[in-house]
Structure 1
């Protein structure tokens, strides 16, 4: 209890928890604030909640109604794949600030029949009709016209230029064709009903919608783009408020076409032609052939052993292997010699992150266009080599990428579903920055992603823009295994926070014995800075953001070690976590959801 309490003390002041002190104390009210801290709990950490338990099925998503949609599909006889697709469709309607059918999708799936872990990369490609030179010319023209600042670096975050082909619908059908059981029109029916009949907006999503409206109203004032954005999500020129009933009949109609006519309706049929017609007058936009030629791919997950467990992630063009590299580095030190909230534990994890992300910036890209030394990056020998660069007493001023040898704010949603047969789906889906690019095709009810912003413009860089190429990707699902069987399906959304969060969850559980819910509720760090896959390199030391649950003593020691620390109490930077833990000994599931989001876990 002592380790957990020390991590929580600063977030629960001014009330001193008797559980942490091991004795009865009188609550003391600060002279500075009258804020009220959490109450007590009979078991577990005082700053957390109980996990949710079930035996026949479970869903953990970022929205309560989406979780319920998944559970309803399971009760109708669907499996985890059917339920995950249903939940993802619902989230595209209910959490448009994080995802939708205009974005990409990545999936890890455990098939209990074959006892095999499958991976699907559902990322889309850049327009085939636009070269690097043409892209640079269009960016230069935007600077000349004042649409972009003269000193702007990289690809614009909004408009047609960062839009790549959406891979989500293809991903749904790819996994459904192979593993699904219910018909797709039945799977999408609950979301279609909510889109037409409406649902109440939840608090965190209302907060993000308000932020998005402020941005789009400023960026697209007086343009047809703003009209489409406003008519879809911001009727009356304002963001929906918490508890207000929201509808999106256009999205309901689009999903109905997909459910009835299948995948090709979106990539080759009527919807594809509507999307292509929308982009046709725009320089650098997608064309019909870009949609028609799209296809995701099944990929082999990679894994690293840590504390007797194996963490599996998808290979690049995503950043999942960064989490594996961090673990490969951290396995060379016993973190349990210090308390979880200590400066030493944060220091080693942050330095491991910085080392791994230098390799992300140097090597991670579309493997169709780049030779990535994957085996070398994950080898124990390379992990030891990188670990040796960490100074235990101070933050290194700068790290560079290694040379592995092969021996003879973004916005995302994560969800996970388990069924009674033992199938597990770990699914992550995103429009990238904000709600996406601001490009809303007429009458279709969704926004295109701006994932192409993550290409580099540096010629010769592995992640440099090219026609028909997949950009570097941030969204990553995870699966924890032991002895060849799944132990936990989990993810933690939020740009570069994701690999850092994956590792922090595992350290909390495997090193410090937290349960699946406590591991997510505990205070987190986000390190921001260093080299970037776009070629836009920032401060080599970077900034270490911490949540208020980290003690003042630890913060002071980290600063003395040379880290640039900022405390952020908003919860926005630190991602959104969902997990399902498989307890084979007791025959049950334990689920966790994110206190920083609106979600819930449901089970039966």
Structure 2
């Protein structure tokens, strides 16, 4: 167990760490966290609670995820960590040539073109079948209830919803997008804080998924509706795209960082960035918290790992360099040698041969889950399948047209994926799940949470509340308004282009649950930058 700092909190906070014994759920919406806790109290385990929370988040935080998105999970159960990749492929009939012929010079943000097969329902099914205790009909009941009866919109969600509405009102043209406005702006505007929003179509779809164990979504009535909507609006989907989509159980990948094993899902996800950056960073001594030198080395390690991933990571079947090569000791040492006292302009190396919601759960049986789910950018593609409430993701936006690029668009291929769950172990014991949503902020956030925990001995809430930085490109780094100004000035002196960002949402939203191996007591932290909640039983 990490020996947490017992001193007063080093940063302004809204809450203290939460402790519990029988179970815990942490996520970005209190309503969804309560849904997971409800399932725990009914006799479900942490896996059931994760599914319930994830399904509920499609209802109570549709600005970040939906039934038509993807998901990944890391599950600790019976003394072992299991990985689940539930990211869907591009339609088999799509190609660079066809998209270019349709008038695009790059993958668009909206419409059916960037839509990939949704994987989230397959994740719920796979988790329930392999590790769940309760039937899916019972686990999805809270989400169905909130969709049917409605819920009061919290303030931060209302702000994000309005921002998406304003963008969609300007950008989305054509009948293909009418359903989004009907479902998510039924009164001609985004719901305001305190207003009640519901969706009977969403409830009906969740009920169908629960009753058929997701078969209706991939091989039944819902699948038919998805394909019909695609065909009617110039999409590329055929029935086989959905029928052949299954969540894939994978072996998690890890690096050892100062005696702890940090775990991620292997590519096509970008979790490998966090691992490579930590491996580079481990060669330096971070003896003091909140120093210019500490921040500089974290940023430089992240820049190098990120630049590599953007060049080398895609669907693992199409990668030219293996995970082992990218995470090798020799390659980490080579990349580390590039770091000096001055900010560098990162260039991808050549490895030597040889928008999103995050949640975590734990129960009193020792099970722990790290789960992430997303429509990619906000509401996704702007497409809602008529009569279903299914908002389709725009994950295909990350595909490239360059035939020489590792992430070039191909039918039936998984794209480079931003959403990543994390997990921490020590020896053969779990410490617990952690994660942070926010696009390309995610691996950077993982590194910062791990460093705050292991190097600087912060408890989960302190680790989450610590001011964050985000590298964007070149030497450009944004920092939160709360970021210590003497650190920002010191980084500027080292050549970093430091910008202070006023919007905290660009720095991700994190959750952590750690377990004490001796007492079994759980300690959790949740995001104070949004409507987050950690609930314990």
TM-score range normalised by the length of the shorter chain: over 0.9
Q: CA–CA distance in 2 between the matches of 1:578 and 1:528?
A: 23
Q: Are residues 572 and 46 of structure 1, via their aligned partners in 2, closer, same or farther at CA, if it must alter by over 3 Å?
A: closer
1:521-532 mapped onto 2 (5 Å cutoff) = 521-529=465-473
Q: Which one of 181, 191, 194 corresponds to residue 133 of structure 2?
A: 181
Q: Are residues 517 and 254 of structure 1, via their aligned partners in 2, closer, same or farther at CA, if it must alter by over 3 Å?
A: same
- 2:494 is the alignment partner of 1:558: no
Q: Which one of 210, 215, 220 corresponds to residue 167 of structure 2?
A: 215
Asked if structure 1 preserves the Cα contact closer than 8 Å seen for 2:343 and 2:475, the reply is no
- 2:197 is the alignment partner of 1:253: no
- Residue 289 of structure 1 aligns to a residue whose secondary structure is helix
Q: CA–CA distance in 1 between the matches of 2:482 and 2:148?
A: 42
Q: Deviations over 1:314-360 (max 9, x none)?
A: 11101001000000000000011xx4222211111111111001210
- 2:95 is the alignment partner of 1:136: no
Q: Deviations over 1:249-277 (max 9, x none)?
A: 11001111111122211001000001111
- 2:52 is the alignment partner of 1:101: no
- Residue 502 of structure 1 aligns to a residue whose secondary structure is helix
Q: Does 1 or 2 have the higher relative contact order (CA < 8 Å, sep 6+)?
A: 2
Asked if structure 1 preserves the Cα contact closer than 8 Å seen for 2:95 and 2:411, the reply is yes
- Residue 280 of structure 2 aligns to a residue whose secondary structure is helix
Residue aligning to 1:369: 318
TM-score (norm 1): 0.86
Q: Which one of 268, 275, 289 corresponds to residue 324 of structure 1?
A: 275
Residue aligning to 1:60: 26
Asked if structure 2 preserves the Cα contact closer than 8 Å seen for 1:576 and 1:596, the reply is yes
Q: Are residues 273 and 489 of structure 1, via their aligned partners in 2, closer, same or farther at CA, if it must alter by over 3 Å?
A: same
Residue aligning to 1:119: 83
Asked if structure 1 preserves the Cα contact closer than 8 Å seen for 2:89 and 2:117, the reply is yes
- 2:135 is the alignment partner of 1:165: no
- Distance apart, 1:281 and its partner CA: 2.1
Q: Which one of 146, 157, 162 corresponds to residue 205 of structure 1?
A: 157
- Residue 102 of structure 2 aligns to a residue whose secondary structure is helix
Asked if structure 1 preserves the Cα contact closer than 8 Å seen for 2:208 and 2:214, the reply is no
- Distance apart, 1:456 and its partner CA: 1.1
- Distance apart, 1:406 and its partner CA: 4.3
- Distance apart, 1:506 and its partner CA: 1.1
- Distance apart, 1:190 and its partner CA: 1.0
Q: CA–CA distance in 1 between the matches of 2:383 and 2:11?
A: 45
Q: CA–CA distance in 2 between the matches of 1:418 and 1:474?
A: 24
Question: Please, what is the CA RMSD of the aligned residues?
Answer: 1.6
Q: Deviations over 1:285-331 (max 9, x none)?
A: 32222111112211111111111101000111010010000000000
- 2:199 is the alignment partner of 1:235: no
- Distance apart, 1:243 and its partner CA: 1.3
Q: CA–CA distance in 1 between the matches of 2:475 and 2:107?
A: 22
- Distance apart, 1:528 and its partner CA: 0.2
Residue aligning to 1:28: none
Asked if structure 2 preserves the Cα contact closer than 8 Å seen for 1:375 and 1:406, the reply is no
Q: Deviations over 1:220-242 (max 9, x none)?
A: 24x32342112111112111111
Q: Which one of 512, 519, 536 corresponds to residue 586 of structure 1?
A: 519
Q: Deviations over 1:125-167 (max 9, x none)?
A: 1111122211221134xxxxxxxxxxxx520011111000000
Gaps of 5+ in 2: none
Q: CA–CA distance in 1 between the matches of 2:246 and 2:448?
A: 34
Asked if structure 2 preserves the Cα contact closer than 8 Å seen for 1:161 and 1:285, the reply is yes
Residue aligning to 1:465: 409
Structure 1 outlier segments of 4+, above 6 Å = none
- Residue 156 of structure 2 aligns to a residue whose secondary structure is helix
Residue aligning to 2:12: 47
- Residue 71 of structure 2 aligns to a residue whose secondary structure is strand
Residue aligning to 1:431: 375
Q: CA–CA distance in 2 between the matches of 1:596 and 1:459?
A: 40
- Distance apart, 1:542 and its partner CA: 3.8
Residue aligning to 1:405: 352
Q: CA–CA distance in 2 between the matches of 1:101 and 1:46?
A: 36
Q: CA–CA distance in 1 between the matches of 2:351 and 2:404?
A: 19
The aligned length equals: 533
- 2:286 is the alignment partner of 1:353: no
Residue aligning to 1:395: 343
Asked if structure 2 preserves the Cα contact closer than 8 Å seen for 1:524 and 1:574, the reply is yes
Residue aligning to 1:143: none
Asked if structure 2 preserves the Cα contact closer than 8 Å seen for 1:163 and 1:286, the reply is no
- Residue 253 of structure 1 aligns to a residue whose secondary structure is helix
- Distance apart, 1:76 and its partner CA: 0.4
- 2:535 is the alignment partner of 1:570: no
1:273-352 mapped onto 2 (5 Å cutoff) = 273-336=224-287, 339-352=288-301
Residue aligning to 1:18: none
Task: Between 271-280 and 226-235, report the one with greater CA deviation.
Answer: 226-235
Q: CA–CA distance in 1 between the matches of 2:484 and 2:382?
A: 40
Asked if structure 1 preserves the Cα contact closer than 8 Å seen for 2:176 and 2:233, the reply is no
Residue aligning to 1:537: none
Asked if structure 2 preserves the Cα contact closer than 8 Å seen for 1:139 and 1:155, the reply is no
TM-score (norm 2): 0.97
Q: CA–CA distance in 2 between the matches of 1:247 and 1:283?
A: 29
- 2:32 is the alignment partner of 1:85: no
Residue aligning to 2:148: 196
Task: Between 191-200 and 87-96, report the one with greater CA deviation.
Answer: 191-200
- Residue 391 of structure 2 aligns to a residue whose secondary structure is coil
**Which has more radius of gyration?**
1
Q: Deviations over 1:446-494 (max 9, x none)?
A: 2100000001111021110001110110000000010122102010110
- Distance apart, 1:58 and its partner CA: 0.4
- Residue 83 of structure 2 aligns to a residue whose secondary structure is strand
- Residue 433 of structure 1 aligns to a residue whose secondary structure is coil
- Distance apart, 1:43 and its partner CA: 4.3
- Distance apart, 1:42 and its partner CA: 9.6
Residue aligning to 1:144: none
